[in-house]
Chains A and B, each alone.
Chain A
Amino acid sequence: MLGKLDWSAIPFDQPIPLIAGGIVLVAILGVLTWVVVKGHLPYLWSEWITSVDHKRIGVMYILLASVMLLRGGSDAIMMRIQQAVAYQSQGYLPPEHYNQIFSAHGTIMIFFVAMPFVIGLMNLIVPLQLGVRDVAFPTLNSVGFWLTATGALLVNLSLVVGEFARTGWLAFPPLSELSYSPGVGVDYYAWSLQISGVGTLVAGINLVTTVLKLRTKGMNYLRMPMFCWTTLASNLLIVAAFPILTATLAMLLLDRYLGFHFFTNEAGGNVMMFMNLIWAWGHPEVYILVLPAFGIFSEVVSTFSGKALFGYRSMVLATMAICVISFMVWLHHFFTMGAGPDVNAIFGIASMIIAVPTGVKIYNWLFTMYGGRIRFATPMLWAVGFMVTFIVGGLTGVLLAVPPADFMLHNSMFLVAHFHNVIIGGVLFGAFAGFEYWFPKAFGFRLDERWGKLAFWFTFLGFFITFVPLYIAGMLGMTRRMQHYDVAAWRPWMIVAAIGMAVLTIGVICQIVQIVVSIRNREALRDRTGDPWDGRSLEWATSSPPPVFNFAFSPDVRGEDAYWDMKARAQQQSLERDRPEYQDIEMPRNSPTGFVCAFFATIMGFALIWHIWWMVILGGLGAWATFVVFAWRDHDEYVIPAGEVAAIDRVNLEERRNLVSMAGAV
């Protein structure tokens, strides 16, 4: 009746996950009770959960990422403490538990922190920058978000019901095959990624179509803001790479569930095929994450330097070059696995070539700053901090792309330091820069600068104190994923790294304080102009937060830096330019489809993990019924009458006029 599920699935003997799970459960129940008692449920349901507004969905993505960052961060803290104390001793974590922690940490950080964070920012901002009302497929957008949330939920469920994979975040066979991992850990891993992967694919299709087909009048390709370009590149990569992940995980699951032989040791299965497939997805994946961050930095650097982006066209070219080349280097992830010197040499050189467009970008940012009037607001700090950090990460990456060096450094702490260097210094700093930069747009008030700067400095320093020792430990021969060790020379570096982790944690706490303080002082921090940073692209042309329909009139774009241009022209010409008549606006109707779909996906995922077949069928039927109901509905749009549009728009217009008359004089 319940498949493999019984009481032994609850880890009563392990206090840490149980207590952690208990606390989370109490917190969730507490929040739920509060929501229900205070009567917020209808509001949440109609304004957020069923919302198909790209801005709301973007915010929910970012919220999910932030919560999961705390979860993944606690894993990181536990690992650093373990490695600091586990010199000639077992440390405080049992080995199989430690293995679950680093697997969960990697999985969560990549799939449920970095991905939702960048997808959230793209969702929030790209339609605004393109001057349109929503993404191409609003309801699908909501489905995508909720499926991602399902994946996150399943991973966290493994904390208290059953176990998580002990295979690392890529679940290499044959370790992940049934004979070596008979438990449900790998199944949790595979099904949660499978479900959230569908969500990601949906988001990718949506954003590609939005950028290519929905730009406002006059928004030629070469007038799009840089963030739209990197969004396009990143989502093209999603559309091309995520199906590979889906297929690979499907093969692994077939091996595990039905006794197939894709990657087994017996009957002709081929383990190297997994390596090739997973990295054919995995290498593009890192660019899926970092390209949007590059876009954010481009916007931030040009805004806070008060200059147009230097070398816009070379930047576009570099972006698209990275998009293509990132598919041709996957093999550098297994130089040591016997492909032979020729193949290694070709892939080594191909890997180094990526450094060229990346270098182009760095120079363009530097030249944008050169001669500009730079304001060091918090987003700009993150951008500059990124440039410093990312150069180090890029250099060590090029070093690893040299096959002989990689034979020494593969699977060492040096590698761990490298990818954290680029992922934290690139993606996470980018996400934070975007968060600080666009927060006023999303919520209508700025974030506290003092706490923001503190957060930056603690994170920045903490990052280097944590990861520079790991580079050194790697050079000293320390391999990754060690539960304990006996080499005295490594010990001091592990202790320094643990201290660095503490500093990093202070940075995270500062960021939380920043949000709390800013919400408290929101009246003082209110942004009435819609353009707090004197921005250059269209998202600043509407009020903060924008109305549901984003723009009362579709903007007409005449050049690069559309809004900057408008401000300049408005100043030259008369301010009272004739406005066209307000018109009725058609907007997509809210829909519970996404939430209901995710509900059934959760049931189905859980049942599949535990082999509860009747429940799988039930979940599947439910999901199918949801689609039919969705397909059957008659009115998927509603109309906002012109009068209402006018009323909403006039409120913002006065402030904006004042601002526009001042711009350019700055």
Chain B
Amino acid sequence: MAMTAAAGHAHADPHHIGVVIEHPGPASKRIVTAYGFWIFLLSDIVMFSCFFAAYAVLSGQTAGGPKGSEIFEQGNVAIETVCLLLSSFTCGMASIAADVRNRFWFYLGMTVTCVLGLIFLVIEFREFADLVARGYGPSRSAFLTAFFSLVGCHGLHVSAGVLWLLTMMAQVFAKGFRADVLRRMMCFALFWHALDIVWVGVFSVVYLLGSAA
């Protein structure tokens, strides 16, 4: 990036006193893709915040049904959290492996990530199924509505992430570490880590605060 003295352009840029940092031109594809995907992630997080807000508003509205502390099971949630946090780590390993074009570690990292994601989903699914079986489904009360929606929305994202993960493995298998595949891999990693962050929010706001109340 060139630092240019303003004097040369003074006639065109009358407001500048001092130095101008000249803009070097369009960014590389990798940067543009990552940037755009970041912006998508931010908008996705705005959507999550709406469900968080709805949960905050409705969490006391149990309409005679169960409260959070009566239905949350700390043990399960702890396992879920560990799975997800670990999977972020293995996903990071896979990203590094992709960067150094090491197929073995890439497949290994992705497979472990996938398995951890699936374990998370299974536990969550069983929690939901169990609640519904006890008559505490989402239509029981506004609190349960908000709970199922917020946690379910995160779960849907994880499911989509697992599908995407499998597609990434297939793409690397079929096409190798091509530039566009690597860009997609970078987006996938961002997505997966973002889900982790959202889960930390869900964990604290729903399960920790909910069990305390």
Interface residues of A (CB under 8 A from B): 132, 136-137, 201, 204-206, 208-209, 212-223, 239-240, 242-244, 246-248, 251, 254, 258-262, 264, 266-270, 273, 277, 313, 554, 557-560, 565, 628, 631-632, 634, 636
CB distance from A439 to the nearest CB of B (A): 28
The distance in angstroms between the C-alpha atoms of A240 and B39, with both chains bound, is 9
Contacts of A270 in B (CB 8 A): 57-58, 61, 142
> In the complex the two chains form, is A258's CB within 8 Å of B50's CB?
no
Instruction: Tell me the complex Cα distance, A213–B32, Å.
Output: 6
Number of interface residues of B (CB under 8 A): 49
Chain A residues positioned under 8 Å from B17 (CB to CB): none
Q: Are A217 and B54 in contact (CB under 8 A)?
A: no
In the bound assembly, the distance between CA atoms of A613 and B8 in angstroms comes to: 67
A–B pairs, 14, beta carbons within 8 Å: A136-B32, A209-B32, A213-B32, A215-B25, A218-B22, A219-B23, A247-B51, A254-B145, A261-B142, A269-B58, A270-B58, A560-B12, A631-B171, A632-B171
Candidates A208, A267, A277; contact of B139 at CB < 8 Å: A267
Contact A239 B39 (CB under 8 A): yes
Residues of B within 8 A of A215 (CB): 23, 25-26
A559 with B24: CB separation less than 8 A = no
CA distance A610 to B12 in the complex (A): 61
A248 to B53, CA, bound (A): 11
Among listed B40-48, B91-99, B103-111, interface-contacting one: B40-48
Report B-chain residues with C-beta under 8 Å of the C-beta of A264: 142
Are B12 and A558 interface neighbours, CB within 8 A? yes
Decide yes or no whether B159 CB sits under 8 A from chain A. Answer: no
Give Cα A204 to B167, complex, Å.
26
Q: Given A215-B25, A631-B184, verify A559-B12 contact (CB < 8 Å).
A: yes
The answer to whether A262 touches B146 (Cβ under 8 A) is: yes
Cβ B138 vs Cβ A267 within 8 A? no
Q: List the B side residues contacting A246 at CB < 8 Å.
A: 47
Known: A136-B32, A205-B43, A209-B39. A268 touches B23 (CB 8 A): no
CB-based contact B141/A267 at 8 Å = yes
Residues of B within 8 A of A557 (CB): 23
Of the listed residues B25, B63, B149, the one surrounded by the most CB atoms of chain A closer than 10 A to its CB is B25
Q: Could you list 5 further interchain pairs (A-B, Cβ under 8 angstroms) beyond the known A261-B145, A558-B12, A636-B180? A: A240-B42, A243-B47, A247-B50, A251-B54, A267-B145
The answer to the question of B143 belonging to the interface, with a C-beta cut-off of 8 Å to chain A, is yes
Give the distance in Å from the alpha carbon of A244 to the alpha carbon of B50 in the complex: 6
Whether the Cβ atoms of B32 and A268 lie closer than 8 Å is no
B130 at the interface (CB under 8 A from A): no
Q: Give Cα A429 to B171, complex, Å.
A: 49
Chain A residues, CB < 8 A from B141: 261, 267-268
- Looking across the interface, which residue of chain B has its beta carbon closest to that of A133? B26
| Given contacts A205-B36, A239-B39, A277-B50, A268 and B26 within 8 Å (CB-CB) | no
User: Given A268-B63, A270-B61, A560-B12: A213 and B27 within 8 A (CB)?
Assistant: yes
Q: Does B21 contact A (CB under 8 A)?
A: yes
**B3 CB → nearest A CB, Å:** 13
Q: Does B81 contact A (CB under 8 A)?
A: no
CB-defined contacts of B11 to chain A, threshold 8 Å: 559
Q: Is there contact, CB below 8 Å, between B46 and A262?
A: no
In the complex, A106 Cα to B145 Cα: how many Å? 30
Residues of chain B lying within 8 A (CB to CB) of residue A273:
53-54, 57-58
**Residues A267 and B44 in contact in the complex (CB < 8 Å), given A213-B26, A216-B25:** no
The reply on B122 being an interface residue by CB < 8 A is no
What is the CB-to-nearest-CB distance from A320 to chain B, in angstroms, rounded to a whole number?
A: 17
* B62 in the interface (beta carbon within 8 A): yes
Would you call B15 an interface residue if the criterion is a C-beta within 8 Å of the partner chain's C-beta atoms? yes
Chain A: minimal CB distance from B202 (Å)? 15
B58 touches A206 (CB 8 A): no
Question: Please, how many angstroms separate the alpha-carbon atoms of A242 and B15 in the complex?
Answer: 37
Nearest A residue (CB) for B137: A259
Report the minimum CB–CB distance from A537 to chain B (whole Å).
14
B35 touches A247 (CB 8 A): no
Contacts A251-B54, A268-B62, A631-B184 given: A259-B36 contact, CB under 8 Å?
Answer: no
B101 contacts which chain A residues (CB < 8 A)?
none
- Return chain A residues, CB-CB under 8 Å to B23: 215, 217-221, 557
Query: In whole angstroms, what is the CA distance A137 to B37 when docked?
Result: 11
Q: What are the interface flags for B58-71 relative to A under an 8 Å C-beta threshold, 1 for contact and 0 otherwise?
A: 10011100000000
Residues of A within 8 A of B180 (CB): 636
Given contacts A212-B35, A262-B145, contact A240 B43 (CB under 8 A): yes
Tell me the bound Cα distance from A588 to B86 in angstroms: 39
Q: Are B43 and A201 in contact (CB under 8 A)?
A: yes
Which A residues lie within 8 Å of B44 (CB)?
Answer: 243
Q: Which residues of A contact B50 (CB under 8 A)?
A: 243-244, 247-248, 277
Q: Is the CB of A205 within 8 A of B39?
A: yes
Q: Is the CB of A267 within 8 A of B63?
A: yes
Chain B 149-180 interface residues, beta-carbon cutoff 8 Å to A: 149, 167, 171, 174-175, 180
Q: In the complex, A557 Cα to B25 Cα: how many Å?
A: 10
Q: What's the least CB distance linking A278 to chain B, in Å?
A: 11
A132→B145 CA distance, assembly (Å):
48
Instruction: Check A558–B9 contact: CB distance below 8 A.
Output: yes
Complex partner residue of A631 from B58, B61, B63, B167, CB under 8 angstroms: B167
Indicate if the CB atoms of B145 and A208 lie closer than 8 Å.
no
A259 and B32 form a contact (CB under 8 A):
no
Contact A269 B36 (CB under 8 A): no
> How far in angstroms is the closest Cβ of chain A from B44?
7
- Smallest Cβ-Cβ distance to A272: which chain B residue: B57
Q: Give the docked Cα–Cα distance between A254 and B51 (Å).
A: 13
Q: A556's closest neighbor in chain B, by CB?
A: B25
Closest to A569 in B: B12
Q: Judging by beta carbons under 8 Å apart, are A559 and B36 in contact?
A: no
Contacts of A222 in B (CB 8 A): 15
Closest CB in chain B relative to A498 CB, distance in Å: 41
Most buried by B among A267, A273, A559, A634: A267
A-chain residues with CB within 8 Å of residue B62 when the two chains form the complex: 268
A636 to B139, CA, bound (A): 47
Instruction: Tell whether A260 pairs with B61 under 8 Å between CB atoms, given A132-B26, A217-B25, A559-B9.
Output: no
Chain A proximity of B194: nearest CB distance (Å):
14
CA distance A632 to B170 in the complex (A): 10
Q: Which residue of A lies closest to B62 (CB)?
A: A268
The reply on B73 being an interface residue by CB < 8 A is: no
Give the CA-CA distance A384 to B80 in the complex, in Å: 61
Report A-chain residues with C-beta under 8 Å of the C-beta of B143: 268
**B24: chain A residues within 8 A (beta carbon):** 217
Docked Cα-Cα span, A217 to B32, in Å, equals: 16
A636: chain B residues at CB < 8 Å are: 180
| Contact A268-B47, Cβ < 8 Å, known A205-B40, A217-B23, A217-B24 | no
Docked complex: B113-139 residues within 8 A CB-CB of A: 138-139
* Whole-angstrom CA separation of A62 from B61 in the bound complex: 46
- Say yes or no for B31: interface residue by CB 8 A criterion: yes
Distance A264 CA – B13 CA, assembled complex (angstroms)? 59
A523 to B176, CA, bound (A): 53
Q: State A417–B57 Cα separation when bound (angstroms).
A: 35
A258 partner residues in chain B, CB cutoff 8 A = 138-139
Known: A212-B35, A240-B43. Contact between A260 and B139, CB under 8 A?
yes
A557 to B9, CA, bound (A): 11
Q: Does A259 contact B58, Cβ atoms closer than 8 Å?
A: no
Q: Which residue of A lies closest to B47 (CB)?
A: A243
Q: In the bound complex, what is the Cα–Cα distance between A214 and B26 (angstroms)?
A: 4
Asked if B209 lies at the interface with its beta carbon under 8 angstroms from chain A, I say no
Indicate if the CB atoms of A208 and B13 lie closer than 8 Å. no
| Residue in A208, A220, A259, A632 whose beta carbon sits within 8 Å of that of B39 in the complex | A208
Q: Within 8 Å CB of A220, what residues of B?
A: 20-23
Contact of A267 among B40, B140, B149 (CB under 8 A): B140
**Residues of A with C-beta under 8 A to B149:** 251, 254, 260, 262
